[in-house]
Structures are given as C-alpha cells and as structure tokens.
Amino acid sequence: MGSPVKRVKQAIRVRSMKNDVVLSSVEVFRKYVAEESISTGGIANNVVVTGTLIWKSEHKYGDRQLVRLHITDAHPEDSFEELSEELYNSNDENRSLVDSELITAAVFGETADSPRLPQNSEVIRIANSRKRLVAY
C-alpha cells in the first residue's frame, strides 16, 4: 500500500492535475495568455503546457547558463522531420516569424546535452516552470 508520505504526495498530484489548465498547441497557448492576462492581470499557477520539442539551444548571460526549449504543438500536423527542417534550419531573416510559431521555455543551470532534459521530438509537459519539466 505504500507509505503515508507517498500516498499523500500521490493524492496531491492527482488533485492538482484535476485543476490544471492544459495548453497543447501554440494557438491555444497564445489565446489563453492573452485572455488570462487581460482578465486577471497575470497567469494562473495551474497552467500546464504540452508540446513537441523541436530543438534546444544554449545561451549564456554573464555567468548564468541556460537552455531554451523550442516547442510546437503536442500533436502537430507536420512530421518531426519537416518541422525540424523548416523551423530549425530557417535563415536569420525568417527567425522572428519562426519564433512566433513556437513556445520557448528556459531551463537555467543546464546544458543542451544534459541527460535531465528531454530529447528532440519528444512530447513534453511543463508545469509551473520551476524545473518541473516532465517528458512523457
């Protein structure tokens, strides 16, 4: 049956999942952010973003290292190969257009090859952005 701590943690996890607002496409994400920020002045804590990881990029700001995860819809119409070719390999001239079609998440203190980060093409789940990144 497990320990009391494990049972409580599982119950909390199940309860919080019932209240989650799951956003699984770039379009739904944009719409939710616009509506929520207008109506409440902020974004709810129970937002979960799911999407397909297209690529990771490393960045350094001063002495801080971070990895950006470039994410598209959880179930895109295009194949991963098409997405990767068209989006990742687009030229600098089209970069802002490409960025507008993606969700970007930042993970601090990691490198792109970290085993703790998901692999390209995986569907990932990001909850509340505090290093609670879960690939599934």
Please say if the pLDDT value at position 56 is more than 90. Answer: yes
Q: How do residues 4-17 score in pLDDT, each as one tens digit? A: 778 777 776 666 55
Q: Residue 33, Cα to own-chain centre: how many angstroms?
A: 14
pLDDT of residue 90: 77
Please say if the pLDDT value at position 124 is more than 60. Answer: yes
pLDDT of residue 17: 57
More confident residue, 135 or 96: 96
How would residue 61 be classed by pLDDT, with cut points 50, 70 and 90? confident
More confident residue, 130 or 109: 109
Question: Which residue do the tokens 């070719």 mark?
Answer: 85
pLDDT of residue 41: 60
pLDDT of residue 116: 92
How would residue 114 be classed by pLDDT, with cut points 50, 70 and 90? very high
Nearest to 136 by CA among 56, 58, 74: 74
What is the mean predicted confidence (pLDDT) over 53-79? 92
More confident residue, 135 or 37: 37
CA contacts within 13 A on the Cβ side of 11: 7
CA distances to 66, 118, 123 from 115, in Å = 15, 7, 16
| pTM (predicted TM-score) | 0.71
Q: For the chain, which residues make up each domain, given as ranges?
A: 22-135
